Amino acid sequence: MEFQRFEFHPNVSAGVRAAGYVTPTPIQAQAIPQVLGGRDVMGLAQTGTGKTAAFVLPILNRLIAGPRGRVRALIIAPTRELADQINEAIAGLGRQTGLRSATVYGGVSMNPQIQKLRTGTEIIVACPGRLLDHINQRTINLSHLEVLVLDEADRMFDMGFLPDIRKIIRHVPAKRQTLLFSATMPDDIRRLAQDVLEAPVTVQVNPAAPANTVSHALYPVEQHLKTGLLLALLSHTDTESVLVFTRTKHRAKRVGQQLERAGYRAASLQGNLSQNRRQEALEGFRRGSYQILVATDIAARGIDVSSISHVINYDMPDTTDAYTHRIGRTGRAAKTGDAFTFITREDESLVRDIERVLGEKVERRRLKDFDYARQAPARDTEFARQPQQRREKGAAAQPAGRTGQQRFRKPEVRKTSQRGSSNHPPGSSAQRVQGRTTAGRI
């Protein structure tokens, strides 16, 4: 089967050809005809299988013949990086359609977004919190909406966005086409799907297991030896570009710095960075300016780089789903990739769960000539935070090592004050997500 069989509008087909698409992926082959037919769709497929084009192309095809200058399609995504990625796909595939799209997310000023909305746009790609800000300030009009897409729905639930999603849905027309795409489908998201989709078609393409183009290996190691093992492993491995995952923002920053000191072209991507610096790190990694990107789980759903040769889990993720999303960044577009995971004794239970998902025992490896017997230092000299400096009498209080623009608590945030206080009321979903310890940690 080839894309030409979908009989897209000629201007949409031109975008398909320009992107080099010839044969649709399984999720595209199954979902696109249903979406073109106007059905509500619940699409389940692992990360990196082409879900974005599965909903973008039918949306472009639907909107190309209708009125312009009003919001007719809304795509909701959990992170700024993913919103930008989807918007780039719309711009590329829809270059000859004349349709306009815009992103709406927190961490940046609302004013440019308001100006873009006023000039007229047909497709909005938004993160939940900032979208609600626009709805509450009446700077966005969703009364003409025809298509609603919830992308990476399981991730939005993990990050505490489910109450916000329900609020948003109350502001869109009841008569609409709704598409829900996800890599996994926990019970809470399944219940949401039942509430917001009407007689949906379920399209499922092996959502539980990681791509079979990825090879897996485990490296048992003590916590204090991880950075040394990472450096040794990189020096012994033929790599193109490497994505390293850590569990915390602070560790991502420090590991990135240590790789730079070791002579690698490395950058970190984590929530304490401003949006401009996050974008620079991501674009530099995509262009090849950086060979290694050290990231928290915020990046697991927002990086679309087909040439990633290795994913290294410096820290084991908290769930099998998170493991699937992380290693889904390699082995993309029919290429092969490697996933290396550093494990400690505390990780064995999750390792067994991952092996059950993979359906096989994962190889344990030891790196030759690496000193596994080196003792831990008396104190944490690697990741200890800088001591708070004493302030002069009368100096303004400032938390050590943090600046106003570094106080992001989750991937998509609403505007905060200089001291980092949130506009959310106490007990709101956006505040609750700040206390999460799994996917919400950035």
Q: Write out pLDDT tens, residues 120-158.
A: 999 999 999 999 999 999 999 999 999 999 998 888 877
Tell me how long the chain is: 442
pLDDT score of 403 more than 90? no
With CA atoms as reference, report the closest residue to 108 among 134, 74, 89, 86: 134
Q: Write out pLDDT tens, residues 212-262.
A: 668 899 999 999 999 999 999 999 988 888 999 999 889 999 999 999 999
With CA atoms as reference, report the closest residue to 408 among 416, 400, 397: 416
CA distance 402 to 398: 8
pLDDT score of 407 more than 70? no
HSE (CB half, 13 Å, CA atoms) of 110? 17
What distances in angstroms separate CA 7 from CA 38, 57, 62, 279, one per listed residue?
15, 11, 12, 36
Q: Write out pLDDT tens, residues 344-392.
A: 999 998 999 888 888 889 999 999 889 999 988 876 666 655 555 544 4
* CB distance 51 to 27 below 8 Å: yes
pLDDT score of 397 more than 50? no
302 band by pLDDT with thresholds 50, 70 and 90: low
- DSSP assignments along 198-253, one per residue: SSPEEEEE--SSPPTTEEEEEEE--GGGHHHHHHHHHHHS--S-EEEE-SSHHHHH
Residue of higher predicted confidence among 371 and 211: 371
Positive or negative, the CA dihedral 27, 32, 37, 38 is positive
Residue of higher predicted confidence among 126 and 209: 126
Q: What is the largest CA-CA distance in the chain?
A: 74
Confidence (pLDDT) at 335: 60
* CB distance 107 to 73 below 8 Å: no
72 band by pLDDT with thresholds 50, 70 and 90: very high
DSSP state, residue 301: T
Residue of higher predicted confidence among 335 and 110: 110
Confidence (pLDDT) at 387: 53
pLDDT score of 269 more than 70? yes
Q: In the structure encoding, which two tokens stand for residue 276, read together?
A: 């401009």
**Where does 183-313 show beta strands of DSSP type E?**
201-205, 214-220, 242-245, 266-269, 292-295, 310-313
pTM over 0.75: no
Q: Which of 8-22, 145-159, 420-434 has the highest mean pLDDT?
A: 8-22
Confidence (pLDDT) at 303: 65
Confidence (pLDDT) at 41: 96
User: What domains appear along the chain, each with residue ranges and CATH number?
Assistant: 3-205 (3.40.50.300), 214-364 (3.40.50.300)
